[in-house]
Structure 1
Amino acid sequence: MGSRSYTFNILHKDLHKKLHKEPLLPMSLILFAVILAYSFRLIGRGSFYPTLFSYLRSFIYIGLYAAWGISIRQRIVQKQVGQYLVGVSVLLILWFTFRSAKYFIFWQPVAIRYQWYLFYLPMLFVPMLALLIAMSLGKPDEYKLPKSVWLLSAVSGALLILVLTNDLHQLVFTFPKDADVWSDADHGYGVCYFAVIAWQVLCAVAALIFMLFKCRLKNGKHRYLPVIPFAISLAYLALNYVGTPWLKHLFGDVTAFQSLMYMLGFEACIACGYIHSNSRYADLFASSVGTSAEITDRDFNIRYAALNIEPISKETMRKAEKAPVTVDGGLTVHTMPIGGGYAVWTEDVSALLAIKEESECLAEELAERNEILRYEYRRESKRRKVEEQNRLFDLLQSATQKQINRISALTQEYRRISKSDTDRVKMLLAEIAVLCSYIKRRKHLTLLADRDCKVAVSELERAFSESLQTLKLLNVRNTLYVDSELSALSGKNAAAILDFYEEVIEADLENLTSVQISLANINGLRLSLNVCCEADLSIFSNKGNVLYEMDGDAGYQHLVFIIEGGAAV
C-alpha cells in the first residue's frame, strides 16, 4: 500500500505541473500570432509583396479575435458579461474588416470615406461595452445591469449617426471647399468630432475608475494588471491626437494597436478573477487540501485532482459509475458524469459503519423484546378491530334495519308470484331498487356522521338523484332543486334529511305518482317535499320540526322539514 501511495504521489505532482503549464499554451499562441502579424507588417512596408503580407496580417488579427470570441462563450460564467465580451470581439473583427476594405478592396473615394466613417462603430461602442463590463465586475454570476444603461447605447448610437452622416453637415470632419475628393488624408475637425472623442475617453476613463475601485476590493499581487492595457490605450490615443511621428511607425495604426489592447485588457480581467470564468480548474484543485475530488476523462484518466487525495483505481471508478462502491478503510467512491468525463469523489463513512455495527448489536438485543410487544400489540389490535367492526355493523344495521326487513318481505312475495303475476313482479323489483338505493347512500352517511365529518351538499344531491332515478321505475314523476349556495353540512344533519325523505316516500310507495324535492337555506336549512299519493301524510306534522300543508286542487301534500341548527356552511 505504501509503494502504491508513493507512486500515486509522484504521478500527482507530475499532473499538477502539467496542469499549471496548460494556461500558458493559449497565451503563447496569442503572443506568436501578434509577433507574426508584426513581422508581416515590417515585411509589407517594403517592396516584397506588400499587399500579400498586409492581407495576411489582417487575416491573423481577424482570426485571433474570432478565436477569442469563441473562447469567451465557453469560458465566461456570468451570462451578461459574456454577451458583452462576445459583442466586443465582433466589433474588433468588424474594425479590422473595415480597415482592410478601406486600404485593399475599395478604390472609389466615397466607398473609402464611408469605410473610414465605419471605424467609429467599434471606436464608440467598444469603450462603452468596456464600461458596462467594468460595472459588472465582482457581481454575482446572474447579475444584470439596470435597464437605465440603455442611455449609454443611445448616446453612442447618436454619435455614430453623426459620423455616418458627416457628408451632409460636416460637423465631425471638415474638408476643403476646393477639394476634388474628400478623404482622411486632407480633412479638419468639426465641433462634433470632439464630442465623439470625449465620449470615447469618458467611457474608457470611467471603465478605468471602476476597475481601480474594484481592484482595491481584491487581494493579490496581480490585482492592478487589468488597468495597464487600458491605461496604455488611453496614452496611445493622446499621443496619436498630438501627432507623435514615431508612434504609428513603431506600434502601427490605431486599429491594430487599440483592438489588441482592448483584448489584452479583458483577458487580464479574466486572469485576475474579476470576470468569473470556468477555465481555472488547475488552480482550484491545486489549492484544494483535505477534499477528495477528481476530474477524469471518459476513460477515467485523471485530469484534475485535489492535493493529498487517496489513490482510486480505474476498476473502482468504473464500478462506481453504476452505484457507489465502498472500499477498504470505510471510503465510499462516487462518480457523476460531466461534459467530457466524470467527477469522482470519496466519502468517509467509517464512523457510520462503526455506528451501524453498534446499532446491529442493539437491534439483536431489542428484537426479542420487540417481538413480544408486537405479539401483544397484534392481539390487542385484533380485539379492538373486531369490537370496532361489530360497533359499526350494529350502527349500520340499526340505521337501515327497517328497509332490510321490507326488502326481505318483498323478496319472499317475489318468489311466490314470480311466475303468475308479471306486472306485480315488476312493481316489486322497482320497490326493492328504491330501498337498495337508500340503503347504499344511508350507510355512507352513517359512517361520515360517526366520524363527525362534514358532508358536501353534492353528496346529498347525488343520493336524491339516485333515488329519483329508481322511482322512475315506478313511473313516479320527480324534480330536484338544490340551492347552489349550499356547500357542506354536518353528517348528522345530512342523515336526518335523507331519513325524512325516505320515510315520506315509503309511506305510500305503491301509490306514489309524483315527488318534488327542494333543499335550500331559508332562515335555516329546509327540505321541502311536494308529494302526490293516496296516503295521508299529515301524521308527519306531529314532529316538532315538520310543517304540513294540503293542496286539495292539485292533490299535492306539502311537507317542510326544518333542520334545527342546520344552517349550511
Structure 2
Amino acid sequence: MCSIGLSEGLLYNLIKSKREAGILKTPKTITVLIILYVLGIVVRVTTPSGFPFRSASILVFSTAVLYWALSIKERITHCRQRRLLIGIAAMILLLHALQFVRYDFAPDASAASRYLWYLYYVPMIIAPVLGIWASVQIGKPDDEKIQKGWLALAVPAVLLIIAALTNDFHEKMFTFAPHFTDWDDHYTRGGVYILVAIWCYTLPVVGLVIALLKCSVAYSKRRTPLPVLIVVTGFVLMLVFHGSTSGGRKIFGTEILTFQMIWNIMHVCFWESIIMIGLIPSNNDYLSVFENSSVRAQILDVDGNAVVSASGAREVPADIRKRTGTFTAVYNDTSKLFGKRIEGGYIYWQEDIRELIRINDELEEAGKRLLEENTLLAQENELRAQQARIETYSRLYDEIASAVRNESTSLKELIGRAERLEGDDLREAVCNMAVLTAYIKRYANLMLLKQNDPLVPVQDLHLAIKESLEYARLSGVLGDVAVITKDDLSRIEAVSHKYAAEDILAAYALFEEVLEKGYGITAALMVWIETGGALGLRMELSRRDSADENDWLRLENGVREYAIRTGDYRLLTMDIPDKGTVVIHSFFTDDKAFGKGES
C-alpha cells in the first residue's frame, strides 16, 4: 500500500510540473499513457512471481488511470462530463484494486477470493452506464441535466450487480461443483453472465454511436475512425482473452495481458480519442494562451513574486502588491492598473488608456461641433418657421386683396374723383368711401378668423353687417341687423352659433352687394340673420321717394346676376310685395350641409 501512495505522489508532482511548464496537452497525455501501459506490460512479463507482489503490473496500470483522471480534472471544462469521466476512471481503479487485493492478499480458492471476483462486475457494469451518460452530454450546456430516460439505465445496472453479488445463492451467473470445490478452475457461465456480457459489450457501442451522431464539425468527422478503431480493437482483444479462465492468454509462452487490463486500456483510450477529436472540449495550453495574450497581465503568488506574466506586462510596483480586494490604480496619464485577490495569490492587469483618452478627446470635439450644428439648425428652423409664417400671411393677404378687388377699385376711383367734388357731392362720396372701407376691413377680419378656425360664430357676421349699416346711415340709409333663431335658443346662444367660414363670408358679400346696388335709391335696409338651422340672410329694402320702379328692377336684376356669377348661395328668393319694398331671402347652408355648423 505504501508503494501505491508513493506512485500517486510522484504522478501528482509530474502533472504539477508539466502544468507549470505549460506542456500538459492532449498529445502529451497520450504519450504518457502509452509509456505507462507499455511499462505495465514489461513489468508483467519480466517481474518474478514473488516480487514483492504477484500483481506489480496492476500498480503501473493503476498509475496510468490515475494520471488520466488527474489530467481530466485539469483539462475538461464541462462539469458533468468531467465528473462522469472521473467516475469511469474511478471504476477502473476499483477493478484493479479488487484484482490487487484478490491476488496478493486473499487466500486462493477462498470464499473471500470468490466474492472479490464477484465484485469485479460492479465497476464493469457501472462504467458503461457512466459512458452512456457522458456521451449524451456531448454538445449540451453544463447546467442541462441528463434526461430521465437515460438515468433509468441505473435500474438494470443495480439489478445486474445484485444478481452478480448473490451468485452463491442462485448460481445463475456461475455454476460450480458441490460445496464450491475447486471453484476458480471449474465453473460454467449461466444466463445472468450472458446478460452482463451483453451489457458490458453493448453499452460502449451505444455510447460510441451517440458520440458520433453528435459530431457536426468537419474536423471531428474526419477523425471519427479513431474511436471506432479503438472500440473494435478492444472488443476483439477482450473476446480473445474472454475464454481464458486463468485471467490471460499466453503468447509465446507468456501471459501479456488480462481481460481487465484490456478493458482498462480500451476505456481510457476511447475517451481520450473523443477528447482528441474535439467532441469533448478541453482547456489545453491555457498558460500559453495567457502568456501570448494581448492583455498585459501578471499572476503573483502570496509573497508578491511573479508566477506567470503575459507579454508586454509591466512590473507591478511594490507599494501596490498584496493589496486586498479589487482595486484600480493609475500608473500615469496613459495607463491604468487593475488588481484582484485570487486563490493562492493576486492577479494584476494593465490597460493602456491612450486610445481611450484619444477617443474621449474626439468625442468632446465632436460634442462641441454637434452643439454648434444644433445651434445653427435651431436658427435655420426658426428662419424656416418665420418664412413659413410670412408666406402664409402673404398668401392670405393676396387672397384678401383678390376677394375685395372690386371694392378696392371702387374706393380708389372715389378717392380720385373726390378731389374734384365739393359740397353735397363730396359728402356723398366720403360716405360711400366709408362704407367700402368698413366692408374691406370687416371682410379681411373674417378671412383672418377663417385662417385660425374653419368655423366662425354668427356674432362676427352680425358685427360686420352692423358696422356697414352704421356707415350707410351717414348717406341717409336707415338700417339695423338682428339675429333670429328657429329653435328655442337665447340670444347669446344664437350669436354664438358657428357656421362654416365660407358661408359667413358669402352672406356678408351678398349683403354688401345689395347695399351697393341699392346705394342712392334705398331709404332703409333691415337685415335678419337666421340661425338654429340653415344659415339664412333676410333683407328688406325700402325705396326712396326719388327712385322709380326701374331702379328697383335694376336692383333686382343686379342681385340675381351677382348670385349667378358667384354661386355662393344655396337658395335665393326675391319678392317685391309693393312698389316701394324689395325682400331678398337667401340660405347659405341647406339642411343637408348644415353639418358644417355647430353650436
TM-score, normalised relative to structure 2: 0.49
Aligned to 1:60: 60
Q: Does 1:102 align with 2:105?
A: no
Choose which of 31, 34, 41 in structure 2 pairs with 1:38.
Answer: 41
Q: Does 1:261 align with 2:262?
A: no
Over the matched positions of the two proteins, sequence identity in percent amounts to 22
Aligned counterparts of 2:241 and 2:19: Cα–Cα separation in 1: 45
- C-alpha distance 73-180 of structure 1, shift in aligned 2 (>3 A): closer
SS at match of 2:54: helix
Q: Is the Cα contact below 8 Å between 1:128 and 1:200 reproduced in 2?
A: no
Choose which of 348, 352, 358 in structure 1 pairs with 2:356.
Answer: 352
**CA shift at 1:180, angstroms?**
5.7
CA offsets 1:249-279 (integer angstroms, 9 cap, x no match): 5641011221233223333334444334445
Aligned to 1:90: 90
**CA shift at 1:196, angstroms?**
1.1
**1:128-527 to 2 correspondence within 5 Å?**
128-176=129-177, 181-217=181-217, 219=219, 225-241=226-242, 245-246=249-250, 249=254, 251-282=256-287, 284-285=289-290, 291-292=294-295, 294=297, 296-298=299-301, 299=304, 301=306, 303=308, 305=310, 310-315=312-317, 318=320, 323-325=327-329, 330-357=334-361
SS at match of 1:336: strand
* Matched residue type, 2:100: S
SS at match of 2:340: strand
* Matched residue type, 1:171: K
Q: RMSD of the alignment, in Å? A: 4.1
**CA shift at 1:318, angstroms?**
4.8
- C-alpha distance 180-122 of structure 1, shift in aligned 2 (>3 A): closer
- C-alpha distance 165-62 of structure 1, shift in aligned 2 (>3 A): same
Q: Is the Cα contact below 8 Å between 1:330 and 1:350 reproduced in 2?
A: yes
Aligned counterparts of 1:337 and 1:84: Cα–Cα separation in 2: 32
Q: Does 1:19 align with 2:26?
A: no
Aligned counterparts of 2:347 and 2:214: Cα–Cα separation in 1: 34
SS at match of 1:256: helix
CA offsets 1:105-158 (integer angstroms, 9 cap, x no match): 112532222211111111111111111111112221222201332321111111
SS at match of 2:317: helix
- C-alpha distance 162-216 of structure 1, shift in aligned 2 (>3 A): same
SS at match of 1:144: coil
- C-alpha distance 362-41 of structure 1, shift in aligned 2 (>3 A): closer
- C-alpha distance 16-295 of structure 1, shift in aligned 2 (>3 A): farther
Gaps of 5+ in 1: 1-14, 366-569
**CA shift at 1:197, angstroms?**
0.7
* Matched residue type, 1:339: E
CA offsets 1:52-101 (integer angstroms, 9 cap, x no match): 25343333333443454455445443332232223222222221121122
Q: Is the Cα contact below 8 Å between 2:298 and 2:313 reproduced in 1?
A: no
Pairs aligned (count): 344
- C-alpha distance 342-214 of structure 1, shift in aligned 2 (>3 A): farther
TM-score, normalised relative to structure 1: 0.51
CA offsets 1:347-376 (integer angstroms, 9 cap, x no match): 4433431354467789999xxxxxxxxxxx
Aligned to 1:501: none
| Greater shift in the superposed pair: 103-112 or 52-61 | 52-61
Structure with greater Cα Rg: 2
**CA shift at 1:24, angstroms?**
6.6
* Matched residue type, 2:286: Y
Aligned counterparts of 1:16 and 1:278: Cα–Cα separation in 2: 12
Aligned counterparts of 1:162 and 1:175: Cα–Cα separation in 2: 16
* Matched residue type, 2:129: M
Q: Is the Cα contact below 8 Å between 1:251 and 1:257 reproduced in 2?
A: no
Aligned counterparts of 1:225 and 1:297: Cα–Cα separation in 2: 41
Q: Is the Cα contact below 8 Å between 1:117 and 1:164 reproduced in 2?
A: yes
Q: Is the Cα contact below 8 Å between 1:135 and 1:210 reproduced in 2?
A: yes
**1:527-546 to 2 correspondence within 5 Å?**
none
